[in-house]
Amino acid sequence: MSATLSMVDLLVIGGGVNGTGIAADAAGRGLSVMLCERADLGGATSSSSTKLIHGGLRYLETYQFRLVRESLAEREVLLHAAPHIVWPLRFRLPHHKALRPQWMIRSGLFLYDHLSKRVSLPASHGVKFDDNDPLTPEFRSGFEYSDCWVDDARLVVLNAMQAKQLGASILTRTVCEQIDAQVDPQTKNTYWTARLKNTQTGEEHWVNAHCIVNASGPWVGKLGRQLQPRTPPSDVRLVKGSHIVVPRMYEGEEAYLLQNPDGRVVFVIPYEDEFSLIGTTEEEYQGDPSAAVISPAEIAYLLDVAGNYFKKVPDASQILHHFSGVRPLIDDGDENASKVSRDYTLDLIQSPAPLLTVYGGKITTYRRLAESAMEQLKAIFPTMKPAWTISAHLPGGDFESQETLLTMLAIEFPWVDRTLLRSWIRRYGTRSRILLNGAKHIEDLGVCFGPGMYEREIRYLFDHEWAQTADDVLWRRTKLGLRLNAQQQSDVAQFCQRGLTR
């Protein structure tokens, strides 16, 4: 065991989308940054979303117009920043006669179309359904509107990569075990001293930081009490959301938004070509957020809602995968968890040392949250550079369209199957060239563990994206766990285990 000492401007605790977004923004403004994450990047809430960049149509009912406007604007920003992992998705909203009237939905969609400037996404309109559609005969009319799909876990990793490229230190599998406020005897300025420990090697790292950012998601309250033993400005309400993955329920690339009498909505979304993603639930949660799992009641709820709309719905035995995440929402006192705001609050205190705490938030607005955090930190770092992320590409996102890039890579690497190239583009964009660097034949990709999973890609993920385990590879950096059988997944796990010591 060894210990080293660093001095940084900013220590970010939490490697979810907000933490990595803040780290990247801060590093790009010239601050020295260190980020520590107790497990894997995006290993909790940020990889357990409904995989959408969206304005939040249902938030209009609770008059959260600023949040919706900001979210709608971010769709265009992220489509430009990360066209490999973010792309347009058309949504169908069947009209349920017993729920919201058509005029209300039409009015809401009008606002949705006009609250923020649309550049690339088409407007909403009414639709008619017939026997060729997957819906039951009860639903013959509805609406279509636009939002975006995102690979949430990859969004987190890309922000961490961007932060690293700009000079930040990214420490995964590293827990913050001790934090103390200090006073410089000469300048009288206060700062933090933190003891970080790698949970796998036991190596300790001491860091002095002028400011700490608590972006620990559902652990924000627990860490906040360690950092500052006072009543936080906002109570955190933990709400579990669960999703299931089933065989593809229908043809077509549209997603469906399903209304339910309890006021919630459930999405059914085309997922990884061959599957459908159904979610989400909303349940109050107590306990360790990392231990959250779907309950039988949640499974029944999701299947029941889907069964109220679709002709063919799988049963519980056909569920191929499921995941649950705990959202740290700001408790506004509403008894209905689905109506609790997804907005964020930033709390900056100066005593005993500068501490910025991030409460709430949603994946769509992570970049604006990071900008807002930097605005608050100007008082501490007055010489920081100006905002920059609104026009920047995330790593691998410097191309015009996936089809154009596919054509280019197919010419450069004619020996690679186009389906495989397309899947890499949707994960790595232009960085697919780094993955393929030096390869001349399919044999150069190494062992094939199963459909689409080659040794070369695993090594790339280890070397460039902080992957260390089979879960990191199969379920967060890629979604190939859906396509590999139990033996193939075991083979990947053994290879990853050897990779830790190679």
Q: What is the CATH number of the domain that holds 375?
A: 3.50.50.60
**Domain range for residue 22?**
3-45+154-234+342-391
In terms of phi and psi (left: phi > 0; alpha: psi -120 to 50; beta: otherwise), the region of 242 is beta
Domain check: are 318 and 357 in the same one?
no
Task: Tell me what pLDDT residue 224 has.
Answer: 84
The answer to the question of residue 200 being in a domain is: yes
Mean pLDDT for each consecutive 10-residue tract of the chain (502 residues)? 77 98 98 98 96 92 90 96 98 95 94 91 96 96 97 98 98 95 89 95 94 95 76 73 98 96 95 96 93 97 98 96 92 55 85 92 96 96 98 97 97 97 98 97 97 97 97 98 98 88 50
- Residue 222: what pLDDT? 86
Is 50 part of any domain? no
CATH code: domain of residue 99: 3.30.9.10
C-alpha–C-alpha distance, residues 324 and 47, integer Å:
9
383: preceding bond cis by omega (within 30 degrees): no
Q: Rounded to whole angstroms, how far apart are CA atoms 409 and 356?
A: 44
Residue 33 and residue 171 in one domain: yes
| Residue 364 buriedness (CB in 10 A; 0-12 / 13-18 / 19+) | buried
Q: What pLDDT, on a 0 to 100 scale, did the predictor assign at position 117?
A: 86
For residues 74 and 365, is the Cβ–Cβ distance under 8 A? yes
Residues 165 and 110 in one domain: no
Partner residues linked to 383 by β-bridges: none
Residue 34 lies in a domain: yes
Residue 65 is assigned to a structural domain of this protein: yes
Interatomic CA distance for residues 170 and 195, integer angstroms:
15
- Do 88 and 269 contact (CB within 8 A), yes or no? no
Composition of the chain by helix, strand, coil, percent to 5: 35, 25, 35
What total of structural domains would you count in the chain? 3
Please say which residue of 335, 355, 382 terminates a domain. Answer: 335
Same domain, 356 and 445: no
348 and 486 in a single domain? The answer is no
Q: Which of 350, 371, 391 is the last residue of a domain?
A: 391
Helix, coil or strand: residue 475: helix
**CATH code for position 406:** 1.10.8.870
pTM for the predicted model, two decimal places: 0.96
Residue 290 near residue 323, CB atoms below 8 Å? no
Are both 145 and 241 inside the same structural domain?
yes
Q: Are residues 75 and 140 in the same domain?
A: yes
The whole-number pLDDT of residue 5 equals: 76
Same domain, 197 and 76: no
Per-residue confidence (pLDDT) for residue 341, from 0 to 100: 61
pLDDT of residue 237: 87
**In-domain check, residue 397:** no
303 and 346 co-located in one domain? no
**Is 90 inside a domain boundary?**
yes
| Final residue before a domain boundary, out of 335, 351, 377 | 335
Residue 496 corresponds to which tokens in the numbers above?
């990853």
Q: What angle do CA 82, 85, 86 make, to 5 degrees?
A: 70
Does residue 251 share a domain with residue 298? yes
Are 157 and 465 within 8 A, CB to CB? yes
Q: For residues 30 and 15, what is the distance between their CA atoms, to the nearest angstrom?
A: 20
Tell me the residue ranges of DSSP E strands in 109-203: 125-128, 141-150, 169-171, 174-183, 190-198
Asked whether residue 383 is domain-assigned, the answer is yes
Question: What's the pLDDT at 1?
Answer: 44
Find out whether 135 and 146 touch, Cβ atoms under 8 Å.
Answer: no
Q: How far apart are the first and last CA of the chain?
A: 20
Assigned domain for 278 exists: yes
Residues 227 and 171 in one domain: yes
pLDDT of residue 188: 86
Cβ-based neighbours of 6, under 8 Å, separated by 6 or more: 34, 169, 205, 206, 207, 208
Tell me if residue 438 falls in helix, strand or coil: coil
At residue 2, the pLDDT reads 53
Kindly state whether residues 144 and 256 are assigned to the same domain: yes
